[in-house]
Structure 1
Amino acid sequence: MKFAPIIDPHARRPMPKPVQVDLRKAFIFGIILWTLALIICACCWYFGHIRWFQMAMFICALGVLIGVALLIWEHFDRSDYRRLGQ
Protein backbone atom coordinates (compact mmCIF):
# COMPACT_ATOMS: atom_id res chain seq x y z
CA MET A 1 0.00 0.00 0.00
CA LYS A 2 1.35 3.44 -0.91
CA PHE A 3 0.10 5.08 2.27
CA ALA A 4 1.67 2.55 4.62
CA PRO A 5 4.90 4.56 5.13
CA ILE A 6 2.85 7.62 6.02
CA ILE A 7 0.65 5.80 8.49
CA ASP A 8 3.24 3.38 9.92
CA PRO A 9 6.80 4.77 10.21
CA HIS A 10 8.19 1.24 10.64
CA ALA A 11 7.06 0.35 7.09
CA ARG A 12 9.42 2.94 5.60
CA ARG A 13 12.56 1.91 3.79
CA PRO A 14 15.82 2.93 5.47
CA MET A 15 17.18 6.29 4.37
CA PRO A 16 20.17 6.19 2.04
CA LYS A 17 23.50 7.46 3.29
CA PRO A 18 24.32 11.03 2.28
CA VAL A 19 26.55 11.45 -0.74
CA GLN A 20 29.96 12.88 0.00
CA VAL A 21 30.43 16.01 -2.09
CA ASP A 22 33.47 18.26 -2.39
CA LEU A 23 31.97 21.74 -2.14
CA ARG A 24 35.33 23.44 -2.59
CA LYS A 25 35.21 22.81 -6.35
CA ALA A 26 31.76 24.39 -6.67
CA PHE A 27 32.66 27.41 -4.52
CA ILE A 28 35.97 28.01 -6.30
CA PHE A 29 34.25 27.75 -9.69
CA GLY A 30 31.65 30.30 -8.55
CA ILE A 31 34.32 32.65 -7.23
CA ILE A 32 36.15 32.47 -10.56
CA LEU A 33 32.96 33.28 -12.48
CA TRP A 34 32.13 36.23 -10.20
CA THR A 35 35.71 37.51 -10.53
CA LEU A 36 35.53 37.36 -14.33
CA ALA A 37 32.22 39.21 -14.26
CA LEU A 38 33.76 41.81 -11.95
CA ILE A 39 36.69 42.34 -14.33
CA ILE A 40 34.37 42.70 -17.33
CA CYS A 41 32.12 45.18 -15.48
CA ALA A 42 35.16 47.16 -14.31
CA CYS A 43 36.48 47.42 -17.87
CA CYS A 44 33.10 48.53 -19.21
CA TRP A 45 32.73 51.08 -16.42
CA TYR A 46 36.28 52.38 -16.92
CA PHE A 47 35.76 52.94 -20.64
CA GLY A 48 32.41 54.63 -19.97
CA HIS A 49 30.11 52.39 -21.96
CA ILE A 50 27.21 52.34 -19.53
CA ARG A 51 26.94 53.98 -16.12
CA TRP A 52 25.05 51.18 -14.38
CA PHE A 53 28.11 48.93 -14.56
CA GLN A 54 29.21 50.52 -11.28
CA MET A 55 26.24 48.86 -9.56
CA ALA A 56 27.01 45.59 -11.36
CA MET A 57 30.57 45.80 -10.04
CA PHE A 58 29.20 46.07 -6.53
CA ILE A 59 27.02 42.99 -7.05
CA CYS A 60 29.95 41.02 -8.50
CA ALA A 61 32.17 42.03 -5.58
CA LEU A 62 29.49 40.80 -3.17
CA GLY A 63 29.36 37.53 -5.09
CA VAL A 64 33.11 37.10 -4.64
CA LEU A 65 32.88 37.93 -0.92
CA ILE A 66 30.01 35.51 -0.36
CA GLY A 67 31.93 32.81 -2.24
CA VAL A 68 34.99 33.33 -0.05
CA ALA A 69 32.81 33.25 3.07
CA LEU A 70 31.26 29.96 1.91
CA LEU A 71 34.70 28.56 1.19
CA ILE A 72 35.77 29.39 4.74
CA TRP A 73 32.54 27.87 6.11
CA GLU A 74 33.13 24.71 4.07
CA HIS A 75 36.64 24.41 5.47
CA PHE A 76 35.34 24.31 9.03
CA ASP A 77 32.28 22.19 8.23
CA ARG A 78 34.13 19.58 6.15
CA SER A 79 34.64 17.21 9.07
CA ASP A 80 30.88 17.00 9.72
CA TYR A 81 29.86 15.87 6.24
CA ARG A 82 32.83 13.51 6.01
CA ARG A 83 31.61 11.91 9.22
CA LEU A 84 28.07 11.63 7.83
CA GLY A 85 29.26 10.13 4.53
CA GLN A 86 30.88 7.13 6.21
Structure 2
Amino acid sequence: MRLWLPEADRRPDPAPARADARKAVLAGTALWLVALVVCLLLRDALASSGLEWLIWACAVGLLIGVAALAVVQAIRRRRNRQGAGASS
Protein backbone atom coordinates (compact mmCIF):
# COMPACT_ATOMS: atom_id res chain seq x y z
CA MET A 1 0.00 0.00 0.00
CA ARG A 2 1.38 3.39 -1.00
CA LEU A 3 0.57 6.45 1.05
CA TRP A 4 1.68 8.95 -1.56
CA LEU A 5 1.15 8.93 -5.30
CA PRO A 6 3.03 11.06 -7.78
CA GLU A 7 0.81 13.46 -9.72
CA ALA A 8 1.23 11.39 -12.91
CA ASP A 9 -0.18 8.26 -11.21
CA ARG A 10 -3.26 9.94 -9.78
CA ARG A 11 -6.70 9.48 -11.30
CA PRO A 12 -8.59 12.68 -12.11
CA ASP A 13 -10.85 14.06 -9.38
CA PRO A 14 -14.50 13.11 -9.79
CA ALA A 15 -16.98 15.80 -10.72
CA PRO A 16 -18.71 17.34 -7.70
CA ALA A 17 -22.10 15.89 -6.92
CA ARG A 18 -25.03 18.17 -7.65
CA ALA A 19 -27.30 18.63 -4.67
CA ASP A 20 -30.38 20.73 -4.06
CA ALA A 21 -29.73 22.67 -0.87
CA ARG A 22 -33.36 23.79 -0.77
CA LYS A 23 -34.51 20.26 0.04
CA ALA A 24 -32.11 19.98 2.97
CA VAL A 25 -33.04 23.41 4.33
CA LEU A 26 -36.76 22.72 3.90
CA ALA A 27 -36.45 19.37 5.69
CA GLY A 28 -34.63 20.94 8.63
CA THR A 29 -37.07 23.84 8.82
CA ALA A 30 -40.03 21.45 8.74
CA LEU A 31 -38.51 19.49 11.63
CA TRP A 32 -38.12 22.70 13.65
CA LEU A 33 -41.76 23.52 12.93
CA VAL A 34 -42.89 20.08 14.14
CA ALA A 35 -40.76 20.46 17.27
CA LEU A 36 -42.26 23.91 17.93
CA VAL A 37 -45.81 22.58 17.61
CA VAL A 38 -45.03 19.70 19.99
CA CYS A 39 -43.42 22.08 22.49
CA LEU A 40 -46.43 24.41 22.32
CA LEU A 41 -48.76 21.47 22.97
CA LEU A 42 -46.65 20.44 25.97
CA ARG A 43 -46.08 24.00 27.22
CA ASP A 44 -47.41 23.35 30.75
CA ALA A 45 -45.30 20.22 31.22
CA LEU A 46 -42.21 22.02 29.92
CA ALA A 47 -42.82 25.00 32.23
CA SER A 48 -43.24 22.79 35.29
CA SER A 49 -39.96 20.99 34.57
CA GLY A 50 -38.02 24.18 33.77
CA LEU A 51 -37.66 23.44 30.08
CA GLU A 52 -39.80 26.25 28.70
CA TRP A 53 -36.72 27.57 26.88
CA LEU A 54 -37.18 24.74 24.37
CA ILE A 55 -40.07 26.70 22.84
CA TRP A 56 -37.73 29.60 22.12
CA ALA A 57 -35.04 27.27 20.81
CA CYS A 58 -37.52 25.78 18.32
CA ALA A 59 -38.74 29.23 17.30
CA VAL A 60 -35.19 30.43 16.67
CA GLY A 61 -34.41 27.25 14.71
CA LEU A 62 -37.47 27.89 12.57
CA LEU A 63 -36.45 31.51 11.93
CA ILE A 64 -32.91 30.49 11.02
CA GLY A 65 -34.33 27.89 8.63
CA VAL A 66 -36.49 30.49 6.90
CA ALA A 67 -33.50 32.84 6.62
CA ALA A 68 -31.34 30.02 5.24
CA LEU A 69 -34.02 29.23 2.67
CA ALA A 70 -33.98 32.87 1.53
CA VAL A 71 -30.17 32.78 1.22
CA VAL A 72 -30.19 29.50 -0.71
CA GLN A 73 -32.87 30.87 -3.03
CA ALA A 74 -30.87 34.08 -3.65
CA ILE A 75 -27.73 32.09 -4.44
CA ARG A 76 -29.71 29.88 -6.82
CA ARG A 77 -31.19 32.91 -8.61
CA ARG A 78 -27.77 34.54 -8.94
CA ARG A 79 -26.27 31.33 -10.33
CA ASN A 80 -29.12 30.99 -12.84
CA ARG A 81 -28.68 34.61 -13.98
CA GLN A 82 -24.93 34.13 -14.41
CA GLY A 83 -25.52 30.92 -16.34
CA ALA A 84 -28.06 32.60 -18.62
CA GLY A 85 -25.72 35.55 -19.21
CA ALA A 86 -22.79 33.27 -20.06
CA SER A 87 -24.75 31.29 -22.65
CA SER A 88 -25.94 34.42 -24.53
User: What are the Cα deviations for residues 28-84 of structure 1, in whole angstroms up to 9, with x where unaligned?
Assistant: 111111111101111211xx223134200111011111211221221122328xx7x
Aligned equivalents of 1:22 and 1:35: distance in 2? 21
Structure 1 length-normalised TM: 0.72
Select which of 63, 75, 86 maps to 1:65. Answer: 63
Q: Is the 8 A contact 1:42 1:53 kept in 2?
A: no
- 1:9: how far off? 2.8
Question: Which residue in 2 is equivalent to 1:24?
Answer: 22
Question: Structure 1: which 5+ runs fail to align?
Answer: none
After TM superposition, which residue ranges in structure 1, 4 or more long, deviate above 4 angstroms? none
Partner residue of 1:42 out of 35, 40, 43: 40
RMSD: 2.2
Structure 2 unaligned spans of 5+: 84-88
